[in-house]
Amino acid sequence: MESYEILWKMALPELEKTVSALSYDMYVSKLTPVDVKGNKIILITELKIFADTASGTMRDKIVDALKSVNNEVTDFEVVVAKNREEYLETSGDKFDDAMNSGSPVNPKFTFDSFVVGPSNELIYAAAKAVAANPGEAYNPLFIHGGTGLGKTHILMAIANQIKMVSPRTNVLYATCEQFTNQLIESISKGKGTGADFRKKYRNVDVLLIDDVQFLAKKQGIQTEFFHTFNELIMQNKQIVLTSDRPPKEIEVLEDRLRTRFEGGLLADVQPPELETRVAILRKKAEEQKTIIDIKVLTYIAELSNEDIRSLIGKLTKVIFAGKLHE
């Protein structure tokens, strides 16, 4: 879920308190958020009458609702368009929008949905500090540990938290593979695309890169990543990286990159102990609105002492088997 969607979703309950049910159904429900520009959220609607009403008689109430949930986005603009693609075409922002977007951030991956235990409490505390004060606490933050231990979850939790509190903050989440492929594509296309690539990755407030171990043995990619890293750090922009191993164990990694990765906070996440595994299973069962006896959850947790993904996989099989016999 993008920042403008989160902002509008938070503003709607406040707006519903100040307009009639008829006005809400007839006009407000016809407005869809598509962007944030400066202090202004951009809304679209298919008919001009809806745009005129929202911008006219309903303007003050919409502005008040926006201000009540965020003091940075305090205005709005309504554009007549069928969908976001049409809005981007007519506004000329389609190319810029594509360049500024990264991998989708799952809105379900939040700090609240992250189960904390002794094995991951350090990365949780560090990530919360980073989300609260980007660029000021633990920069860079380098999180490393085995696969399936929640590293991607914590990256997306940082992104979702910052977007919720400060929608105007430019947060980019991408995998290292995506960074690599886009760099190669920009080189192959030639003139102009290299500048677009750098604009995408260097004009951000928070850069979140997943699986940075894929930089191993890629000298050309490492050079570009080094300059991107330096540019952001010099501007006091926040960088958070994840890897399945610490920097010193990434093969053929340039010393200048290794020392920079180690220049912030290295946070190691370990496989969860039994109590945390049970807590994770209980939370996942609750999310699926399924009640499972604690003895069953404990038994599943005892069977799997590896990564969280395999743990959840076993739970899913149990839930599925239970539904088959209902």
pLDDT at 323 over 90: no
The fraction of the chain above a pLDDT of 90, given in percent, is 40
Q: By the 8 A CB rule, do 200 and 192 touch?
A: no
For position 103, what pLDDT does the model report? 60
For position 267, what pLDDT does the model report? 92
Domains in the chain with CATH codes: 3-95 (3.30.300.180), 121-268 (3.40.50.300), 274-324 (no CATH)
For position 43, what pLDDT does the model report? 94
Instruction: Give the tokens for residue 51.
Output: 């745009």
Alpha-carbon dihedral angle through residues 125, 129, 134, 135, given to the nearest 10 degrees: -90
For position 131, what pLDDT does the model report? 94
Burial per residue of 174-194, b for 16 or more beta-carbon CB atoms within 10 angstroms, e otherwise = bbbebbbebbeebeeeeeebe
pLDDT at 174 over 80: yes
For position 1, what pLDDT does the model report? 54
For position 99, what pLDDT does the model report? 39
pTM of this structure: 0.64
pLDDT tens-digit readout, 58-84: 999 999 999 888 777 888 999 998 888
pLDDT tens-digit readout, 195-236: 888 888 999 999 999 999 999 888 889 999 999 999 999 999
pLDDT tens-digit readout, 266-311: 999 888 888 888 888 888 888 777 888 888 888 888 877 667 777 7
Letter for the amino acid at 47?
L
For position 102, what pLDDT does the model report? 56
SS3 of the chain: the string is: CCHHHHHHHHHHHHHHCCCCHHHHHHCHHHCEEEEEECCEEEEEECCHHHHHHHHCCCHHHHHHHHHHHCCCCCEEEEEECCCHHHHHHHHCCHHHHHHHCCCCCCCCCCCCCCCCCCCCHHHHHHHHHHHHCCCCCCCCEEEECCCCCCHHHHHHHHHHHHHHHCCCCCEEEEEHHHHHHHHHHHHHHCCCHHHHHHHHHHCCCEEEEECHHHHCCCHHHHHHHHHHHHHHHHCCCEEEEEECCCHHHCCCCCHHHHHHHCCCEEEECCCCCHHHHHHHHHHHHHHCCCCCCHHHHHHHHHHCCCCHHHHHHHHHHHHHHHHHCC
